[in-house]
Structure 1
Amino acid sequence: MLETLSGPWHWFVSGAVIALVLVLLLFFGKSFGFSSNLRVICAACGAGKVNSFFDFNWKAQTWNLLFLVGAILGGFISTTWLSDGEPIQISQATVQDIQELGFAAPQDLQPQELFGSEALSDLKTVLVLLVGGLLIGFGTRYAGGCTSGHAISGLSNLQLPSLIAVIGFFIGGLIMTFLLLPLIF
């Protein structure tokens, strides 16, 4: 069993599991999204006394917090005990694109020059990560949800705002990948 769990799985397994979870959420009248957990955590910590956005019944969203904890715990378990230590397999075209930007091929999940602990000593990298995080946070709040919430729950519910948000996510990703990232690095 451990050998099956630690080996590579076919891509359709993830899709089938996501579809199963989504059907269960729809059945119980819930919607999926990770970014809503930040609002729930802030509300649970008392932020509703400072801002009305956080003043809601956060206890009704406890299930979503459990989902978040399960995702984090699952990632930890899979990388700690189910990984064979081999670097992640990515296409040669991606490796070439990364190298053209001045990064070495990732030996883990991402380039160490950008996400490793030594990157924190480079002001440019810290600024890129800080500005990127602020833009993602602002965009998530402005769009009323994150990519997972809009693309998985919103589109399955045939919500037009989610379709517009997902199209915007893709356009933003293309602009960042092909225009801004080469200029920055």
Structure 2
Amino acid sequence: MNDLRSEDARKGVQEKRRQDDLVVDLSLLFARAMRANPNTCFDNVIDMMVHYLPEAFSAAGKLVEGWYVVDLEDEVVLNEHGWYTLPDGRILDPTVVILVPPERPVYYFAGVERTYQEVKTILQQKEAWFPYIRCVGTYGDDGLGHPDYAAAYEAARKKALALAHASKLPKRMTFLTAQDLEEPQEAMGLQVRLFIVQEER
């Protein structure tokens, strides 16, 4: 079997897969309740943590600033991304469930994790924005001066390269940051798909 995980992922940066680690039903429920926007991942995860169910999120789990890789039919996309990790390591992501069709593989690479209290403190600062690793200024404009964030990026980049070259004809690769506009995402075929979850009667 061909192991497409990067060396960084095998050594320390843990690669998580949407198919294995994402809690889809709960992510969709939050996306629907919040009317999540598909291109504002940090706003979505912060709304989920701080505004919609703070009593649950304040106890455990973390907001993650990192990267994800989406393996599309003719393209591989590496994107700076924010999501929530439960204490058991599973992921809540109200953005990916409305942005990327369910059959598309998505791989997560965590860079920096922040507790509920840390997120609340950051939100009280004027001019603060997420990913905070880039806003704080200590680690450069791209945040890659932080060793964990840089390691997550490098693992995601290597994963994107491996996926792009795994097919007979190499796929095009696109690298996006959290500040990129919606148009590039729409142009590459990442479509808004809102799934309505209803209770069975």
Query: Does TM, scored on the shorter chain, surpass 0.5?
Result: no
Structure number with greater Rg is 1
Normalized per residue, the structure richer in helix is 1
Q: Which has the higher strand share?
A: 2
